[in-house]
């Protein structure tokens, strides 16, 4: 049977279980949201088939593929597909373009008595659908939450149904100190998950003011250009409040994640190495003298933190880092941008303003078609 399903935003919205039969190297670059990689061919087999295709054409390449994936190897891969499908009724298959590899996989499954649809157009169709959704979302109304480092902007938008957590999708907090002890997504996977989030969220979108790069990934250009033009709300909080917030985010929460993942000893060593490296990466902007001063305070704070279990010693280097580096950098960017905020106030006042703004502007028309799934 060669049953195919067309790719649509509505289909992807339901997060169906999917088997990606492409090679692992292809899957690592990006996949359909929620897909698992159970390849028809591994990387080396795919490479050899590709070389045969370029030398001798498609028929010879297909013949080599059947030769390489045969006997017990074929049975193992077919068995893995059957096991997954048994655990996930309604699962789908796809390959790069919905052609030969998913067609072969589908046929083998049919011969084993298992009927599974495949995605028409494969991964290419998934990507085109989700990138079109992002381009459409970029035409929707949005509001940007800005403010000095430590103003809990992410926490604010997480309190809103309209909030889109770019840093959460990137698995990175955005600054030199933002790396998390989790695997970061590929650029394609970041874009795909973000596209679904945008398609499923009410407008106006509420996003945090970000650089285009967040860790190892970049905000898709159409969305980034729209964010630069969107109206802004500015959160203003005193230094002491921001230092407490930064310490919770970049010390306490980070330590809890490293400890939970790696245990006490290794988790501490890895967290300490990350924070030292983050500070050293600012060498050019801080200058040698200031960097050395902050590194000494940081090491003293680590020693006190480890002895007492109290992270407040880190305030000794976090406070000057905010005052001497992050705050001047933000003010410089604010002056260069020149854009006035719709509203400025403390965290709670901004939360209330944004919630009211979203209610008043809910589902305003965008430039183009509706985002409805």
Q: What is the pLDDT of residues 97-112, one digit of tens each?
A: 978 899 999 999 999 9
State the pLDDT at residue 368.
Answer: 41
State the pLDDT at residue 337.
Answer: 73
In the chain, pLDDT over 90 holds for what percent of residues? 77
Average pLDDT, the chain: 91
Classify the phi-psi angles of 295: left when phi > 0, otherwise alpha if psi is within -120 to 50, otherwise beta: alpha
| Claim to verify: residue 62 and residue 144 sit in the same structural domain | no
Domain count, the chain: 2
Average pLDDT estimate for 246-258: 91
The DSSP element (H or E) to which 119 belongs, if any, is: strand 118-120
Instruction: Compute the distance between CA of residue 169 and CA of residue 159 in angstroms, rounded to an integer.
Output: 16
Residue 365 banded pLDDT, cuts 50, 70, 90: low
- 118: which strand partners? 4, 93
| Claim to verify: residue 28 and residue 175 sit in the same structural domain | no
Of the residues 101, 129, 157, the one at which a domain ends? 129
Average pLDDT estimate for 273-285: 91
Residue 2 banded pLDDT, cuts 50, 70, 90: low
Examine the pLDDT at 333 and tell me if it is beyond 90. Answer: no
CB 150 within 8 A of CB 321: no
Of the residues 129, 158, 178, the one at which a domain ends? 129
Catalytic pick among 82, 95, 151, 350: 95
| Claim to verify: residue 197 and residue 86 sit in the same structural domain | no
Examine the pLDDT at 78 and tell me if it is beyond 80. Answer: yes
pTM of the model: 0.90
| Claim to verify: residue 180 and residue 121 sit in the same structural domain | no
Residue 362 banded pLDDT, cuts 50, 70, 90: confident
- pLDDT for 123-175, tens place per residue? 999 999 999 999 999 999 999 999 999 999 999 999 999 999 999 999 887 67
| Claim to verify: residue 313 and residue 296 sit in the same structural domain | yes
Q: Is 95 a residue of the active site? A: yes
Instruction: Compute the distance between CA of residue 169 and CA of residue 191 in angstroms, rounded to an integer.
Output: 9
Residue 65 banded pLDDT, cuts 50, 70, 90: confident
| Claim to verify: residue 55 and residue 146 sit in the same structural domain | no
Give the range of the structural domain holding residue 108, as residue numbers without chain letter: 4-129
- pLDDT for 170-229, tens place per residue? 988 767 776 777 788 999 999 999 999 999 999 999 999 988 999 889 999 999 999 999
Examine the pLDDT at 84 and tell me if it is beyond 60. Answer: yes
| Claim to verify: residue 193 and residue 76 sit in the same structural domain | no
CB 233 within 8 A of CB 241: no
Of the residues 109, 129, 149, the one at which a domain ends? 129
Examine the pLDDT at 245 and tell me if it is beyond 90. Answer: yes
Instruction: Compute the distance between CA of residue 16 and CA of residue 314 in angstroms, rounded to an integer.
Output: 45
State the pLDDT at residue 366.
Answer: 54
| Claim to verify: residue 101 and residue 164 sit in the same structural domain | no
- pLDDT for 18-29, tens place per residue? 999 999 999 999
Instruction: Compute the distance between CA of residue 166 and CA of residue 300 in angstroms, rounded to an integer.
Output: 34
| Claim to verify: residue 155 and residue 87 sit in the same structural domain | no
Which of 42-56, 237-251, 253-267, 331-345 shows the lowest mean pLDDT across its residues? 331-345
| Claim to verify: residue 147 and residue 123 sit in the same structural domain | no
| Claim to verify: residue 196 and residue 113 sit in the same structural domain | no
- CB environment 52-91: b (16+ within 10 A), e (fewer): bbeeeeeeebeebbeebbeeeeeeebbeebbebbeeeeeb
State the pLDDT at residue 172.
Answer: 81
| Claim to verify: residue 106 and residue 170 sit in the same structural domain | no
Q: What is the CATH number of the domain that holds 339?
A: 3.40.50
Neighbouring residues of 285: CB distance < 8 A, sequence distance ≥ 6: 325
Average pLDDT estimate for 56-82: 92
Q: What is the CATH number of the domain that holds 24?
A: 3.40.250.10
């Amino acid at each position: 049977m060669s049953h195919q399903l067309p790719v649509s935003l509505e289909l992807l919205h339901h997060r169906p279980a999917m088997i990606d039969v492409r090679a692992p190297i292809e899957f690592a670059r990006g996949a359909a949201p929620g897909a698992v990689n159970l390849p028809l061919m591994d990387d080396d087999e795919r490479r050899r088939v590709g070389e045969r295709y370029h030398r001798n054409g498609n028929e010879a390449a297909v013949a080599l593929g059947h030769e390489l994936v045969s006997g017990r190897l074929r049975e193992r891969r077919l068995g893995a597909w059957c096991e997954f499908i048994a655990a996930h009724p309604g699962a789908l298959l796809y390959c790069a373009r919905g052609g030969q590899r998913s067609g072969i996989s589908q046929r083998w499954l049919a011969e084993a008595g298992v009927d599974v649809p495949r995605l028409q157009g494969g991964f290419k169709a998934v990507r085109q659908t989700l990138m079109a959704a992002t381009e459409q979302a970029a035409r929707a109304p949005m509001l940007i939450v800005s403010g000095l480092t430590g103003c809990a902007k992410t926490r604010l938008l997480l309190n809103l149904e309209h909030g889109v957590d770019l840093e959460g999708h990137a698995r990175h907090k955005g600054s030199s100190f933002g790396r998390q002890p989790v695997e970061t997504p590929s650029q394609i996977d970041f874009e795909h998950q973000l596209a679904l989030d945008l398609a499923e969220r009410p407008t106006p979108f509420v996003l945090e003011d970000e650089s285009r790069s967040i860790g190892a990934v970049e905000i898709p250009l159409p969305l980034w250009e729209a964010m630069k033009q969107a109206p802004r709300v500015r959160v203003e909080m005193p230094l002491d409040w921001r230092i407490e917030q930064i310490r919770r985010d970049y010390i306490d929460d980070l330590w809890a994640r490293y400890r939970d993942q790696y245990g006490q000893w290794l988790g501490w060593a890895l967290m300490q190495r990350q924070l030292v490296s983050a500070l050293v990466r600012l060498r050019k902007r801080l200058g040698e003298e200031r960097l050395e001063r902050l590194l000494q305070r940081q090491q003293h704070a680590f020693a006190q933190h480890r002895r007492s279990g109290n992270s407040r010693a880190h305030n000794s280097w976090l406070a000057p880092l905010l005052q001497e580096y992050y705050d001047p950098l933000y003010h410089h960017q604010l002056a260069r941008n020149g854009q006035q905020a719709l509203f400025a106030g403390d965290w709670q006042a901004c939360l209330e303003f944004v919630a009211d703004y979203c209610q008043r502007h809910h589902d305003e028309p965008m430039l183009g078609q509706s985002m409805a799934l």
